[in-house]
Structure 1
């Protein structure tokens, strides 16, 4: 029997980092409001990214870069100092670097996010309640939003926020499935990897940060055989270092707008840095603050140029690997156990005693079959909601409450996060934040990006 409708001021759909950070910001604002966070996991604050339990799965940014407080860049460093003093993460003391330069395990970062939520709840007149369920449908009218959960319960709120986080390709059902996930091992499932013959060949599709995690998982599972990686461009993430500060050259020259101009100037600045004996990552890191502006003011043609010609190199140079993980990948390459090939995945091949895939190597026209004992799908994040075979994205599309974002990256919204429907109307009740706004800002997944969005959206919701 369906329960009566429960009411709230704000309904947050998703209780990972995005939803939790929004809840924290709402709690910190004056006033008294009731907030419901709908998240099927047992805990808030973790989501896909921070549910990892292995210490080897670390953040790809050091503590100084990963604060959840947009007003205090040292918040994580300060929290981590107390956490280590209390005996948490004893392995950290084996790394001879300041706490601000540590790369914490993602599971510990989840503890940090949870503690900040608990502190905000204790000090606020508002309330936050975790509803452990999945949202399967959503309706918006002039005065409210109404959610239907997978248990049949309904919730009504003045506003609803899509804080759904990321849809990892390795764990996300696809509307047009190639069957890869059914045949593949989860990149983060170390226990499942212990069942692979430790001397056998493992195939990996994709060469980004998910691949790095998969290699760490294999190492922790005791795998000692060959690892064959297939990626369209054959690029590995660079290792993240701690470069010195560099002049913000984009702020000094607002005429730099197009992808070609940006790429030319970034290369020039990197050459200048290297000529002075300074790490090329120094000038590159100054670009980060301008990406949202550059992307949003670019035309569709320029955005397509960036995605087609610049994106692979931007991803490998900017989304860099944590040092310990990068050292593992480099060691396995030197030992000849890990090999990366520039090749496109062309599908699975039916096989009884192994996993066989079709690939087409760069520069070749023929498709080649490659066999291994196991396959890992490390192809990153699925941003096209039309391809995500989950109830809520499909229902939102069916009802016309959302439309794909630029280049089908996430969903369309205005600059404040108000969702744009299929007819181009800006919603007064439905909002989005974090990874769903990838098409709006390009970089909308990093902790600092989401923290800034959470603060701004909380202010808008309370002002309304």
Structure 2
């Protein structure tokens, strides 16, 4: 029997749960003593993160149930859980008679319950402790890797960075004016049920904006909703029915080596059928293509990523239909422009500067999302770059071993999920995270 391992996981969202689950499976299969895992996250509850902490039943996954399993080799696990453990139906009255099919876009709070349930089931194979603290430093040592939370330090055999996205994007004036103006969306579930006003402005037009619109619609808000972002792009809808998977339009042994070649191949494939099937067929190769591009070509491709994102990260069909209804009724409008500042108007209202022009509204909702930049000032990863623990390759963290996602030349320091932003083009969705978790777990218990 092998020696017991001590593993630290920094971050307590979906990526952390996926890694714990895969470590538990490895431990059970190997017959070793139960690893001791410490999850560092200041949140009261682990396993939810920002996305699955929502309590709004209108907030749904943007991937159908058939694609949300924690396990690469058990693709129907989430679907089976939905049909086997009906306890999730009591989370909201609207869930009682909710139909479940492989193409169901389930409420995100239900997926949070799935993650929490899996976390509760691993106690036989791993010992999990939740440390409610913010990690301030990580230092590789001869004896292992030291993780510090202020004055407290613990040493682990291995550490995984599962930090998720860093701080929310802010517009100048947001933080200083937040206590005195009607500004919402900075935390999950903070749009009040009694929200009123003739006009609300949402900053951002992505999936976070969609969430905000759905919340306003659910609570009966009947005023005007104006959403603005730099490109004014709205996420595209999923197909009304599940599409038949199509063969990839790229050959594994002849992947595009330039941004232009990549986009030309994608456009050709989209002309041959439903563009969604073409985009989805690229998933198994996206990261390999990205990693094979030069830094110059990555920079060129990055310029079109906003357009790629709205086609890649799509809305559930019923959600897209509701937004179209609201736009058709004149209650929702989408605009492009740069939000420059937010300030109070001195009369309980808000003024938002868009491209230098003042726009008055009764409230502002921030739907700008979270930074995927691992080097954002104040983030742990930025600190680790400054101290030399992490190295960089252009705008991304250096990955020393793509197979195991090791982030240090010598120490057993790994990364998964959004923390690998810029190093990979696909690293935020569960289909990517579960593959990463399986790869890291396979090496964590090897001493």
TM-score (norm 1): 0.85
- Contact 2:137–2:148, Cα closer than 8 Å, also in 1: yes
d(CA) in 2 for partners of 1:286, 1:38: 36
Instruction: Give the aligned partner of residue 74 of structure 1.
Output: 76
**DSSP 3-state at the match of 2:121:** helix
Instruction: Give the aligned partner of residue 158 of structure 1.
Output: 157
Equivalent residue in structure 2 for 1:211, among 201, 204, 209: 209
Equivalent residue in structure 2 for 1:103, among 86, 96, 105: 105
CA 1:179–1:140: 2 relative to 1, 3 Å: farther
Instruction: Give the aligned partner of residue 417 of structure 1.
Output: 405
**DSSP 3-state at the match of 1:251:** coil
- Contact 1:418–1:427, Cα closer than 8 Å, also in 2: no
d(CA) in 2 for partners of 1:418, 1:168: 24
Q: Please show how residues 32-431 of structure 1 align to structure 2 within 5 Å.
A: 32=33, 33-84=35-86, 87-88=89-90, 91-92=94-95, 99-122=101-124, 124=125, 126-150=126-150, 152-167=151-166, 169=168, 178-181=172-175, 183=178, 184-186=183-185, 189-196=188-195, 198-241=196-239, 242-251=242-251, 254-273=254-273, 279-308=274-303, 310-349=304-343, 351-353=345-347, 354-360=349-355, 367-390=356-379, 392-393=380-381, 395-404=383-392, 406-408=394-396, 411-414=397-400, 415=402, 416-420=404-408, 426-431=409-414
d(CA) in 1 for partners of 2:382, 2:245: 45
Equivalent residue in structure 2 for 1:24, among 1, 21, 24: 21
Ranges in structure 1 where 5+ consecutive residues have no aligned partner: 1-6, 274-278, 361-366, 421-425
Q: CA deviation at 1:74?
A: 0.8
**DSSP 3-state at the match of 1:387:** coil
Deviates more, 1:287-296 or 1:347-356: 347-356
Q: CA deviation at 1:449?
A: 0.5
**DSSP 3-state at the match of 2:146:** strand
Deviates more, 1:317-326 or 1:395-404: 395-404
CA 1:319–1:105: 2 relative to 1, 3 Å: same
d(CA) in 2 for partners of 1:317, 1:146: 42
User: What is the number of residues matched between the two proteins?
Assistant: 428
Q: CA deviation at 1:16?
A: 1.0
What RMSD in Å do the two structures reach over aligned CA positions?
2.4
**DSSP 3-state at the match of 1:36:** strand
**DSSP 3-state at the match of 1:120:** coil
**DSSP 3-state at the match of 1:76:** helix
Instruction: Give the aligned partner of residue 364 of structure 1.
Output: none
Q: CA deviation at 1:314?
A: 0.6
Instruction: Give the aligned partner of residue 363 of structure 1.
Output: none
**DSSP 3-state at the match of 1:248:** coil
**DSSP 3-state at the match of 2:102:** helix
Q: CA deviation at 1:54?
A: 1.2
Deviates more, 1:205-214 or 1:249-258: 249-258
Instruction: Give the aligned partner of residue 423 of structure 1.
Output: none
d(CA) in 2 for partners of 1:264, 1:39: 43
Q: CA deviation at 1:121?
A: 2.4
d(CA) in 2 for partners of 1:344, 1:246: 38
Q: CA deviation at 1:259?
A: 2.0
d(CA) in 2 for partners of 1:393, 1:160: 13
d(CA) in 1 for partners of 2:410, 2:217: 48
Instruction: Give the aligned partner of residue 3 of structure 1.
Output: none
- Contact 1:148–1:155, Cα closer than 8 Å, also in 2: yes
Deviates more, 1:262-271 or 1:345-354: 345-354
CA 1:22–1:9: 2 relative to 1, 3 Å: same
**DSSP 3-state at the match of 1:455:** helix
d(CA) in 2 for partners of 1:144, 1:100: 44
d(CA) in 1 for partners of 2:443, 2:90: 37
d(CA) in 1 for partners of 2:267, 2:282: 12
Q: CA deviation at 1:88?
A: 4.7
d(CA) in 1 for partners of 2:384, 2:173: 25
CA 1:39–1:325: 2 relative to 1, 3 Å: same
Q: CA deviation at 1:266?
A: 1.7
CA 1:226–1:236: 2 relative to 1, 3 Å: same
d(CA) in 2 for partners of 1:189, 1:200: 23
Equivalent residue in structure 2 for 1:444, among 423, 427, 430: 427
- Contact 2:208–2:368, Cα closer than 8 Å, also in 1: yes
CA 1:87–1:370: 2 relative to 1, 3 Å: closer
